[in-house]
Structure 1
Amino acid sequence: MIRIQSLTKRYGQHLALDHLTVSIQPGDLYGLIGPNGSGKSTTLRILTSLIQADSGTVQIMGQHPSKVLGKMGILFEYPHLYPYLSGWDHLVLWGSTNQRPSKSQVSEIAERIGLQASIRRPVKKYSLGMKQRLLIGAILLRNPQVYLLDEPTTGLDQEAIHYLHHLLKEEAARNKTVLITSHTLSDLQGVVNRIGILARGKLVVDERLDNLLHAKDQYSITFAAGKMEQAINFLHQHPHVRVLKHTGLTANIYLEQMEMEALLQALYQVQLIPIEFKRHSYTLEDIYTLHTGGSA
């Protein structure tokens, strides 16, 4: 497991992490998201012992990260691949921290990552998605207990992303701990079971994704064409309403300490009568916008 307690890090006058506290359990597939500069990369660098925190503590599997690096699967920056070596050669080269993996182990991993038909080909002939599968395969061969993955889907097509997510779900089902960052929120929604949102170095959300997606306070509300501009202005100015987005004649809103009945009464008083309103589930992008006010 990963346990972070009151972690603080400054770069000059910039407070990158502000007393960050979070625990990620075995079996968790935890998505850490936030705007650029929110502290995601700093957190991962501390977890991989690349930098030291100014204060606070970090434990992975009950020890300082530097003591258990060999038990972690880290995909932090895109490593150099040797174009004339085969996928098989890379797995043998990178696939173990202490001894050469057996042929059966390499064959099993090649099949698991879907490269059994091309594992003997030089990687210069691999697509980006195939290369990413190969890197994950090298990590799988080490059988890590904790995965730290920074933007692993960058540049991948949907098929490759789906395959990667399938592998990560399998590892979480084996009671492994997985921490993943991503800017592609729609992709992340389909794989993680917990979400942490960082904003200005603070963890503003730490919750199971299902609980967030099915919160009760979001509605879509539709107005007549001639009333939409006036309605949007009214909703933006209301102290208990957050407008998440609006498209055409419909706005997605979040109610803060207010019931929908009270909002409808307020709208009726200014002759803004909705054509339709309904409660519906969030997307991860809605949740992100609600808590950060911006894009990932």
Structure 2
Amino acid sequence: MNEIEQLVETAINDITKISKPKELPLASDIRLLKGIIGKLPKRYNQLNRPIERLSPEKIQKAKSNYHQFNLIKKRHPELVSQEVDRLYSGLVVLIIRAEVALIMGLINRKNRLSTDDVLVVLRNEKERRKVLQQPLKDVILAYYRRNGFPWEIRDINTQVVTVFIDETIKPSPLDQFYTVGMFSYIICEGNIKKEKRMDTRIIESGIQPSAEIVHVELITIEAMEYVLFKLLSKYHYHGKVVFKIDSQAAQKRWIDEKYAYGIVNQFKSITISRIPRTGNTRADKLCRQYSIVTIKNDSINQAKNKVARINTAQIKPAKNNPIRDFIRRII
């Protein structure tokens, strides 16, 4: 067993230490135990598959069942027979194998992580303890999204990408008589239907300026084009793209004019999904609270005061000016 397998095994076994069991009556634990035992054949079947058919969602369900089993075992050990304990030990073996297979898929892909890159994360106990919330593969990717990837060219290993976009036109932070157009974007792996599920799947987020300062829907269209070019050039992605926007005018304009944008032919499909503003709060906050260049209010006020002092200052010529005196002599 290599070090990756050992650390994955440690992470899965540590699930038993993640949380203390809450007190539940015996009858409740009997019902819970019957439910998770009934799901064991399905979990065995879902995990005992080739790597290309492994589902991270099914792996998470198996880990959740294992976690429930251990809580019941701590509360009422008399309910757990040796046979059931043996069956769940077998499930742990399949979970470890599936987690290792997904991690090795990252290492074996071109321009992906090296074994040393993976070990950096797996040796971190704080990161390993996230195993109950998401597959270790996603824990590793999330770590490098926060801290910077060790490779220059990145590709996205997913069939669908979801992009949340928001736009705004607001007064310039330096001069209230001028307006600026801006848009924000959050690119996520997978088909994210609700923004509360995006945290562990964010690939990239950011804000960009727009030359448009009148028609908000044109800023949205510009943002969509910007993200599509980024997906092509930076991530080499050509799969399905789902845009989440809250502008009905932009949605209608895209539907009417999408064939004018040649870039759409580079993707398997592009879907525009209009969501209420309450469902797009993350992108909205990103767009409204930040400027393209972040400047603290104190710095802005200092700059304004300096400009005001320069404009009102009475500039007096210097008494001794060698260059001026030399010019006067030769003239």
Higher strand proportion, which one? Answer: 1
The two structures share one fold, judged by TM-score above 0.5: no
- Asked which structure has the greater RCO (Cα within 8 Å, sep 6+), the reply is 1
- TM-score range (shorter-chain normalised) is under 0.3
* Structure with a larger share of its residues in helix: 2
